[in-house]
A and B are shown apart, each in its own frame.
Chain A
Amino acid sequence: EAGVTQFPSHSVIEKGQTVTLRCDPISGHDNLYWYRRVMGKEIKFLLHFVKESKQDESGMPNNRFLAERTGGTYSTLKVQPAELEDSGVYFCASSHLSFGGRPDTQYFGPGTRLTVL
């Protein structure tokens, strides 16, 4: 079974440009999450999709970030326009839907390293 995949692995852009990150979850996983790690800091939650719906987007830093998951399969995270502080590693994770209150294990992708110059 293929794991969570992310594309690209690295992206270097200039301030003010637009970048789109993609995440393909494990097949059959309805939950999809985005996290971000800024250098030297903790990995921080950004948002959570259940199928195509945004369940929780409390971690999105501002309106320059737009996440979509059309059709409930892969997801994209667009940053427009990018700022210097957006640099970091963006992780995607997926999991099965859980029932009865117990969250299921989240499986992480390798991350996309974004550098904004």
Chain B
Amino acid sequence: AQTVTQSQPEMSVQEAETVTLSCTYDTSENNYYLFWYKQPPSRQMILVIRQEAYKQQNATENRFSVNFQKAAKSFSLKISDSQLGDTAMYFCAFNLNRDDKIIFGKGTRLHILP
């Protein structure tokens, strides 16, 4: 079965700090894509970052970067210099190369404190 586990239901950090959100997943497939989605309080969910499993280099998008450990099936998200606008629910997810359905974790609610 394909599953995603986010072990931190909720986190709070001070503005400008660095925070890391954990994610592990399980699949027996070898070709897949990993994602972090962000859902701010206004509810529109947006893609933060995407990683192809066949790429060893970790994806980065400005202040957002991932630590992808394929053997350990781990895909953590690091947010540097956190900002108030980063307050949101963050979902770790993946889908198989051969399939379109996205499999999500339960989410981590992140609070950035002023």
Contacts and interface: CB of A to CB of B under 8 A. Distances in A.
A83 B100 CA distance: 28
Contacts, number: 58
Given A40-B106, A42-B4, A42-B105, A101 B98 contact: yes
Interface string A42-55: 11110010000001
A48 B91 contact: no
B102 interface: yes
Interface stretch (A18-26, A64-72, A73-81, A108-116): A108-116
A110 B101 CA distance: 18
Contact of B100 (A3, A103, A111): A103
Interface residues of B, number: 24
A56 B97 contact: no
Interface of A: 3, 31, 33, 35, 40-45, 48, 55-56, 58-59, 91, 93, 95, 101-103, 105-111
Contact of A108 (B46, B101, B105): B46
A43 B43 contact: no
A106 B93 CA distance: 12
Contact of A111 (B33, B43, B105): B43
